[in-house]
Chain A
Amino acid sequence: MKAKVRKLIVSVEETRREMGRDIVPPTRKAAAIAVIENPFAGKFADSLDPLIDIGEELGDLLGRRAVEALGIKPNQAESYGKAAIVGEGGELEHAAAILHPKLGKPLRAAVEKGAALVPSAKKMGGIGSPIDVPLGHKDAAYVRSHFDGMEVRVADAPRANEIVVAVVVTDSGRPIPRVGGLTKDKIEGKDGLK
């Protein structure tokens, strides 16, 4: 691998009750997280190409790990999101290099289709920083029942020379959606929006 991975974490949240009501089937979110070395920690570099390639590799690895953790077929995935936390020796742009140019394509392959933008967040942070990974429906960004987020955190990362990269995949929307808007059975799935 191009990425120097210190650890991988997979976390699955299964919501069975919400506000006193049973959720059947439970809603599920899986986060796959990699803690990697930041090759540019401590120095300013004009070209961040190595991080762009690492992003491609992690889109595949983390996308597949999240889908596997849910025990679903790729086409049963419903929403997704991505995020990165850069340790203090780096800069915010390192997160952008991993997340935006190349991570999306292999992630979309892992969930099949993925016509919609992959929602994202990024920040600088110290050891134990949490990050909220925004979530949206993978084929139609306006599906209102699937707007959500998942907070992820690695207790011992990112160290100053590390980056935490997270991909979240779900097989469901919010537990009891009832604020209207586009529903998943009405998706056209052509433009990634509706």
Chain B
Amino acid sequence: MSLVEVRKFVTIIEEIWHEGGPVAATPLKVGAIAAVLKNPYAGGYVQDIMPMMDALKPFGLEMSKRLIAALGGEPKKIEGFGKGAIVGEAGELEHGALWHVPGGYAMRELLANAKAIVPSTKKVGGPGTRLDIPVTHINASYVRSHFNAMEVGIADAPRANEMVLILVMTTGARVHERVGGLKASEIKGEDGLR
């Protein structure tokens, strides 16, 4: 049996028109996909956890595809991304770290080999725990207008022997971005930073 055993998927799309200021012509979309998986290493210390990282690679691609589809199906319209993991109480923080490679590389691959590092966070928590997923521009981490975050959580997960793996994508800048800094139009696109 595969190490990747899914109990449920949750997809959330926020469409943001304004936040007290001018109404946007095109709303910002901020979307998340979360998967509730069985944690194969819950319950005791396991030294070698790398098999799960490999098992998650195709799964990361599947989740990325689902999220892009939920945001309209056009990879070119995705401008920001982030990822995170919540590990149920029978697991360990390190199990959440298994998501870095599969989640990050999958999104970058599907988004025309995006150059920036995918920002992330993780924690151990019970059912209903919420996680603030950091978001940055997909090609240049220092684009100031695209620094954002999305709070994600699932009422009945993670149970003790589960983990919740999350991807977030956005279609643009914060709706009232106006604090200067590097603009998306000025990206050099060489190092993933600027």
Residue of A nearest to B48 (CB): A178
Which residues of B lie under 8 Å from residue A141 when comparing CB positions? 117, 141
| Stretch from B68-76, B106-114, B143-151 at the A interface | B143-151
In Å, the complex CA distance between A122 and B131 comes to 12
Q: Evaluate contact between B174 and A175: CB separation under 8 angstroms.
A: no
User: Which of A121, A144, A151, A193 is close to B191, meaning CB atoms less than 8 Å apart?
Assistant: A193
In Å, the complex CA distance between A150 and B151 comes to 14
Which residues of B lie under 8 Å from residue A174 when comparing CB positions? 93-94, 97
In Å, the complex CA distance between A20 and B90 comes to 11
Interface residues of B, count at CB 8 A: 48
Which residues of B lie under 8 Å from residue A99 when comparing CB positions? 147
Q: Evaluate contact between A117 and B142: CB separation under 8 angstroms.
A: yes
Which residues of A lie under 8 Å from residue B122 when comparing CB positions? 147-149
A46 at the interface (CB under 8 A from B): yes
| Stretch from B5-13, B154-162, B176-184 at the A interface | B176-184
- State the B residues within 8 Å of A (CB): 19-21, 44-45, 47-50, 53, 84, 92-94, 97-98, 100-101, 117, 119-123, 130-134, 136, 141-142, 144, 147-149, 151, 174-181, 191-193
- Other A-B pairs beyond A20-B44, A96-B179, 17, CB < 8 Å: A18-B92, A19-B44, A19-B45, A19-B94, A46-B178, A92-B19, A92-B176, A96-B144, A101-B181, A117-B193, A132-B123, A132-B132, A178-B47, A178-B49, A181-B101, A192-B193, A193-B193
